[in-house]
Structure 1
């Protein structure tokens, strides 16, 4: 919103500059319409003229061959001082504007290489001696378009001030547009999101249309170019097609409102086809009647505005924030476009001027530039937050691995200290007692204990892929030491030997699950089932223990560690438990063969 306030602040001088006129000059004016553009200055005296007041508009509607002749009788009311003023015409897009001042002829306009001294208006300089009265003729010509204009006498200082402000502001806004284009171009290369491409295309056309509409292109950039009238019409149509496509993707109409999306594409396609046909006809058939093309183009333009406005309102129920942005951008354009069309068909007497078009189009570009940049920043911050979470998860995994290693080392240390250490001390004592026979017997027992400890930590058979025999051996040892619980192992099409890297982890997972079921679940029966399917291995661990409520109880360190091990092998881990009814753990790991 700060950007919008800045634009309003910068445009305020442009819209509020005070107008001054030279009161020492009087003017009597009238006009007549030459329907076939066949009159000369000699035949004008025979024509009937209608009154034409300053700042009142002459509107001849759609024009093909007509020209408007204006007669001005200008007089300096001062008898002692000379007077200088500018005869100004407020339509910058007149093809040619010819001033006949006696034998002197001056011509300016879109179809001429000459230009007005001021970007704000088409103006002719008038210098009057004290008490001088002069008859002036002005011929206004605009081919194949709607023609309206008004005139006024203006002071040079006022025109220079208005033109300087308009030039500066238009330059500033076009520069800012291209800055936003550069930023969004960088964002596109970073994100590969096509929405930025649509924004760039729409913004470029906005800059061109603004430059032509405000007369900046003719006055500053390409003063000798002669076809700005046509460029204004075609660029405006392309600009609106680009805006429709951009808004359609901005609101994700293809996914959320497919019918409106197709309708917008069809309307845009018809408009583009009209542009191609019109250009072809202008090149090969200059006398073609373009009235119906203009009418059809305006109808499609109005239909597109209505559909887009309707789509934005509907989108409020889908994604409120994006819809509000679209409505904020589109509402001023909706008013301007409606006024333009109603004025064209003479339903209302006056439409919003070109300055409003400058404000609206650049307001939209700035607004969407701000929205897209902010969306990227939000996405960047979210991605950064996700990266922090990933880093945290990795650190947690490392801590978990370290804790597992520390716990296993403690278990080994306790076994060695309690069993191996005590027996070694006993053997040394026996040698001191010179009881070699008993010492030899104790050494044999110690060797058996070491083999058993080694087998418990990680059976040698696992190196050969014998997961089933390793588990059976460990389960037999565990069942021998259990009094109130029993462990069962079932295999279904599971190979005796498998060549998979995860068998060591699965062996340790099975021991972890058994330990949890006995220690924490007080289970009486623990069932382990191993399945082999064509594309995956399936493992199910079931116990009839105490169970727990998954919604209220966290998985705990052991289960989280199991899940991380399974995820490492791109497997799937699921657990279901009901309080006082036991727990079921299911693991699926894809097969590499």
Structure 2
């Protein structure tokens, strides 16, 4: 800015640029910088005016309470027809733009209650009679901020067409954003997933920032509001903080890249602190130098953009799909933000305009809205498939349970019919033959057989928690009936009685494992080892049978059912088997 002041003061003669905008209108223009905003129109030093060409940008850099005076000399070269044109200043965020046309004064801008007739630009209507020449002064004023602008003469029809397109595009964008907000709000209440909440906050701030930056808020919504210049800066800062939090959660940086997660938090805290402090100073100490707040804020903004882009790039290696989604969404943001900051510091000559920001924001919001909705649909479909599998498995389980119950009932019925039924018939025959003593003896034997059958089905001792005693009694009977297989039970610090709800299940599980080892494993020796540790019970079942290849043969229903019953009690089930080398089953249940 000082360099521009210096060159302006060196110009001792009036410099101007004259160009035929068309065959009927010619214009020459110049500008001068009023550092302290103390000049009046009648005291303007025309000798200090610098050249000001149409479409060339005047950039005075960081500005604090300065004003720029622009002089335009216009001439209607047509001696017969009047000319109507619009003098346009292509920066919608100038605080105030005051036109002095003879005795007429007009003011528009962010800091005024007046708005431009067109959303596309700040424009003044100019009318020149045939052959008329007039001198117009325009005072450009912007408080503490960076200031650049250019001017052009535009046709009303073209301005109206561009403004209508911009209003339509911005309205469409805001409408779709709020539709996406409604959808993601419903998804948040359904899933309680914080990703949707972060997306909602980020999208609302995006809509606000777009509305302010495109001049939609000033032109359509709140034309008399006078603080859009500050609102654009602060909403933009908070908008990017919300975007950082959303991407941090979306990429799961806390779990996958904890160092970058902490750096993102630090950047966001610094940015938020800058916003709060600068707002406080702006209200209570407006004369404070804000240059360094802007510089630090822009540097952190650029660093944060680069960091998030690198994080998304790294996330591709961790979770490819989500990482690619983030990269596709964030790359345009990186380009636009980098261009904006580099242009602000005059490192590059131009930046992408507000229309680009509108397209980029629209693309980004739509893309993330699509990704989140698709993620929900994928989860919903997977859950639906899982529910179908669970239903099918339940149906299979019920069918198997019914088959097992039917088989057990058939076995019990056969035992009762073959042993109890025939015994009762024999006792009745003894009574008919009046052999009371012999009948009494047979009734005693029958009672003993019924107790034996009952004990085999489920020992009474299990009611008292005597798991080991119940199994030993059953194993004694099994060993007596086996010729090629021996079953052994060893206990290590294992209690005689257990007050645990899983005693009955473990008794039946042990018998089922033994039955599998005998029937399918063709085992010669089956060893049961029961341990008690400080925090859990450990059960190990080892057989020397034929085993099986675990890579080719999956668990059958019986083993899966055992695993589910163990998991129900918070335990672990593990099976290891090698073909021709036997099988080891280990069960751990919390004490």
Shorter-chain TM-score range: 0.7 to 0.9
| Matching of residue 544 in structure 1 with residue 544 in structure 2 | yes
| Per-residue CA distance 1:80-127 (angstroms, 9 max, x = gap) | 333322221111111111111111111111111111111111111222
Partner-residue secondary structure (3-state), 2:318: coil
Moved more, 236-245 or 547-556: 547-556
For residue 352 of structure 1, what is the aligned residue in structure 2? 352
| Per-residue CA distance 1:306-355 (angstroms, 9 max, x = gap) | 22222222323222222222222222222222222232232332222111
Number of corresponding residues: 571
| Matching of residue 503 in structure 1 with residue 467 in structure 2 | no
For residue 475 of structure 1, what is the aligned residue in structure 2? 475
For residue 8 of structure 2, what is the aligned residue in structure 1? none
Distance across 1 between alignment mates of 2:565 and 2:315: 44
Distance across 1 between alignment mates of 2:260 and 2:526: 60
| Per-residue CA distance 1:288-317 (angstroms, 9 max, x = gap) | 333333233322222222222222223232
Distance across 2 between alignment mates of 1:44 and 1:192: 64
Q: CA deviation at 1:517?
A: 2.9
Cα distance change on mapping 1:429 and 1:312 into 2, 3 Å: same
Moved more, 119-128 or 476-485: 476-485
RMSD: 2.8
For residue 79 of structure 2, what is the aligned residue in structure 1? 79
Distance across 2 between alignment mates of 1:565 and 1:22: 90
Cα distance change on mapping 1:458 and 1:356 into 2, 3 Å: same
Cα distance change on mapping 1:343 and 1:422 into 2, 3 Å: same
Partner-residue secondary structure (3-state), 2:475: helix
Q: CA deviation at 1:445?
A: 5.0
Q: CA deviation at 1:535?
A: 4.1
Aligned 8 A contact 1:89 1:121 in 2: yes
Distance across 1 between alignment mates of 2:374 and 2:33: 54
Cα distance change on mapping 1:210 and 1:22 into 2, 3 Å: farther
Cα distance change on mapping 1:327 and 1:412 into 2, 3 Å: same
Aligned runs of 1:29-44 on 2, under 5 Å? 29-44=29-44
For residue 397 of structure 1, what is the aligned residue in structure 2? 397
Distance across 2 between alignment mates of 1:374 and 1:304: 27
Aligned runs of 1:143-182 on 2, under 5 Å? 143-182=143-182
For residue 18 of structure 2, what is the aligned residue in structure 1? none
Aligned runs of 1:18-417 on 2, under 5 Å? 24-44=24-44, 46-417=46-417
For residue 456 of structure 2, what is the aligned residue in structure 1? 456
Distance across 1 between alignment mates of 2:562 and 2:308: 53
Distance across 1 between alignment mates of 2:561 and 2:234: 65
Distance across 2 between alignment mates of 1:223 and 1:526: 88
Distance across 2 between alignment mates of 1:525 and 1:294: 81
Moved more, 155-164 or 40-49: 40-49
Cα distance change on mapping 1:481 and 1:257 into 2, 3 Å: closer
TM-score (norm 1): 0.87
Gap runs ≥5 in structure 2: 1-20
Distance across 2 between alignment mates of 1:556 and 1:588: 20
Moved more, 360-369 or 99-108: 360-369
Q: CA deviation at 1:24?
A: 3.6
TM-score (norm 2): 0.88
Q: CA deviation at 1:364?
A: 1.4
Partner-residue secondary structure (3-state), 1:184: helix
Q: CA deviation at 1:151?
A: 1.5
Aligned 8 A contact 1:400 1:561 in 2: no
Partner-residue secondary structure (3-state), 2:42: coil
Gap runs ≥5 in structure 1: 1-20
Moved more, 274-283 or 164-173: 274-283
Aligned 8 A contact 1:22 1:85 in 2: no
| Matching of residue 512 in structure 1 with residue 497 in structure 2 | no
Q: CA deviation at 1:503?
A: 3.0
Distance across 2 between alignment mates of 1:396 and 1:73: 92
Q: CA deviation at 1:422?
A: 4.8
Q: CA deviation at 1:430?
A: 7.7
Aligned 8 A contact 1:22 1:154 in 2: no
Partner-residue secondary structure (3-state), 2:317: coil
Distance across 1 between alignment mates of 2:296 and 2:514: 79
Distance across 1 between alignment mates of 2:473 and 2:229: 92
Distance across 1 between alignment mates of 2:532 and 2:405: 30
